Structures are given as C-alpha cells and as structure tokens.
Amino acid sequence: MMLARFAAATLVAVLAFIAPAALAQDFIQVDRLTLLDIDPATDDNGRFGRSLALAGDLALVGAPQKEGLDGAVYIVRLEPDASLTYLDRLDPGEATFRFGLGIAADGEWAAIIDSADDLRIFQRVGDGFVLRQTLETPPTQGGITVRNFESIAMQGDTIVIGDSSANLTGFSNAGAAVVYRRSGSTWSLHALVPSPDPGNTTGFGDAVAVSGDALVVGAPDADASDGGATGASFGRAWVFRRAGAGWNLEAVLDGPADDKVGGDRFGWSVAIDSDTAVVGCAVCNNGVGAPSNSGSFHVFRRNAGGANAWGRVQEASASNAAFIDDFSFALRLRGDLLMTTSPGNQDKSVYLFARPPGGAFAEVDVLQNTDGNNTEFGSTVDFSGVRSMVGADTFPDDAGDPDRYGAIYSFTNPAVLACRGNLDGIFCDGLEG
C-alpha cells in the first residue's frame, strides 16, 4: 500500500499546479464495456458492474444476476491508456447463487461473496485468477450466529465481511463482522466482531472497511445516541482495532448533533486508510440553502479529538448537489485521494476529492456519464493512479431495451498522463494497485 499512497500523494501535488478553471473536466471517459459486448447472446438483467475491484491493472467485475441469478464475475484489463479489454470469466468451481454480489481485491489476492453465503478466494496468476479456497459462514461462536455475507472489504492479509442479519445472544439481526486472515497462502477465520450495541444497531455490517489493524463498520439504521428513545434512526459507525486474536472497540463515529434527521442513514458507506476514516451519509447536507437529502461524507482523523479519539474534522458534499442524489453511495479512499459516487444525481456523476497533507478534502474533478439514461452510474467505483473505473449496473435502462445487463466505464486524466521522468512514471503507468 505504500506505493499506492506515494502515487496518490504525487498526483495530488500535480493537481495542485493545475489551474482551477481546468479542473472541471480533466478526467475524460475513455471506454465503456457492457455485458452485451462480452456476451452478445445475453438476455437477462445480469447487472454487470454491480461490484468491481481493481487488482493492479486487472479488474474483477461482478454480474450477480446473470443466468437466472447464478451470477458471474469477469476479468477485465485496464490498459495504460484506460481502455478496457475483456479477458476471461472466473470459474467458481461449483454452482453459485448471485456470485459476484461483493468483490474485494488487494495485490495478488481477491475475495468474492455470493448470496449462498460462500466466500471464494482467488489468487492472480498472470492475467488470470485461480480459485484457492471456498469458505462458508462460520459456526456459532460466543453467542454470535452469522447468517449472510452482505458486504466485503480487503487489505493486505485481512478480509472483512459484514452481516447485518447476524444474531447475538438475546438479539436478532443485531449484526456482526467476520474477519479472515491469511497465513502463507491459507486463509482462515480470525474473529467475529459483534455489534457493540446490539439493541440499537440495525444495519451493523451493511458497510465495512479495513486498513492495517483498523476496522470500520457502518450501521445506517442505528438508533439515536439516546438509545433509541426517540425512535429516530440516524445511523452510526464504529472503529475497532486488532489486538492479538480479537478486535477492540476504539471509537464511535457519529454525525453532527445539530444536523441529525431521522433516516439520515449515516454509515451507509465507509472507507479507511491509515489514520483517516470516511463515513457516507445518504440524506445529510441539510444546511440552510442546501438541497435537502442530497447526501454528504464525513471525515474523521484518528487523533483529532485526543489519543485514538477519531474526531470529526469535515463534512463535504457535491458541488452540484441536488435533491436525493445518493451522494456518498460508494467510497474509495487511497491516501489523500477520495472518490465517491452519486448514482441518484441527474448529471450521473462521480467525484474526485483531494487534500494536501494535513488539510481538508476539496472537490477537484467531476467524472460524468455520457449516456443520458438512468444507468445507476456509480453503483461502485475504484481507481489506480490516474485511471478509474465506474460501474453502472442498470445500463441501458431505457424503454427500447428492458434488460438491465449493466456496464462499466473507464476514465483517465490525459494532462497527468503527459508525464516525463522516472518519478512521474510511477503514477503514469497506473500500476500502483
């Protein structure tokens, strides 16, 4: 991850020298690949692009509703110029149900979940991936019963899966996170992390993120900080830190007390990198003069409120915010660069935010969909260096073609790609992973 962070910091430095007027559309769309391009005979709502993850220059793209809900995952190469080349379809090794529901990748490893509650782990070999392990939901431990695999994140030798339906002793659907770790080439169960407030945390595990020894879990339907006495679900997120064979609660991440509205869904998306955590809020940004329910993200720094206090340092929204944008639906944080999506926005936009070291995130670019129909552009996003990939899983979603087979889009910044010198080449080749 160090190379990726160095590359991201270098890109931020480059962007700082670009005139503000030029930042509006520096990233341009290079390519679009649809499920129909891959499989011309497809006739179903495969939802290609519902999930995706980049592993270096290779992307794994999920179509969890392909072939009568069997699901499928495809390997696509993100070329140096950001064009897309379809390579192959993954072999899950057996029958599946909504294979590709969630995908995470880091380095040579990738992890994929399905609605049959299986975790399949693949290892990259050349331009392909080989199935190494299939793991099922773990047995009940410590009163924690995992029922479904719903969300997934991966970093280094750690995989985290969220299950908002997990039962705890005395509490149904309280939620839990399942942590797997790798030793050598073998992955095994490391810990089950239960909701710290099982009576008030509906949705715990809807969103997960991991970085090093830190884990963030979102619960967008968690009740108010008064224990739910008001009956209003604002949402919340928690930070846990690994300690030996377990994970200890380190901090509670909450929205601003003076801007809470029932149904905010704070914690519907989360991201973390080192000492920075970002929490998405579906219908926040309710300040005076702002479009209601447009959404925002909140930035927390680990020591901003004291040692390990994870103080909230920023709330940000889109420059073109509008009513019910779903801004912050998906988050991808790499060092000082953050991408977030807004699939409900009429302009069909993805946003790039950057920050100087120790500073605040500021919007520096908007990546826009060239298709006019409602394609759920921004159902997921990932980026590597100056190249990014965006999922649009309901493409084409128009009256002329009732099937929603899905698509992915690629973008790059040609100004930054016009690099010279070995230092610039680190992020120009885009192979940071």
Q: What is the per-residue pLDDT across 342-373, written as a single tens digit (0 to 9) for each?
A: 887 666 789 999 999 889 999 999 998 877 66
251-260: average pLDDT: 78
Q: Which of 192-196, 225-229, 328-332 has the lowest mean pLDDT?
A: 225-229
pLDDT reported for residue 349 = 87
**Domain extent at residue 368:** 2-45+133-153+165-175+182-428
Q: Which residues pair with 353 in a beta bridge?
A: 338, 363
Neighbour tally for 195: CB within 10 Å: 26
Q: Is residue 128 in some structural domain?
A: no
Q: Considering the domain boundaries, does residue 160 fall inside one? A: no
**229 in a structural domain:** yes
Give CA–CA dist 182/56, Å, rounded: 20
Does residue 397 lie in a domain region? yes
Cβ atoms 268, 281 nearer than 8 A: yes
User: What is the structure's pLDDT at 263?
Assistant: 64
Q: Residue 356 is part of a domain; what is its CATH number?
A: 2.130.10
Residues 275-289 pLDDT 10s: 999 999 988 875 545
Q: Does residue 17 lie within any of the structural domains?
A: yes
Measured between alpha carbons, how far is 151 from 400 in angstroms, rounded to an integer? 33
Domain-located, residue 123: no
pLDDT for residue 261: 64
Predicted confidence (pLDDT) at residue 293 exceeds the cutoff of 80 = no
Residue 34 covered by a domain: yes
- Selected residue with higher pLDDT from 155 and 309: 155
Total domains, the chain: 1
The answer to pTM > 0.85 is yes
Contacts of 431 (CB under 8 A, 6+ apart): 56, 57, 384, 385
Residue 64 in any domain: the answer is no
Between 378 and 12, name the one with better pLDDT.
378
Structure confidence at residue 426 as a pLDDT band (50, 70, 90): very low
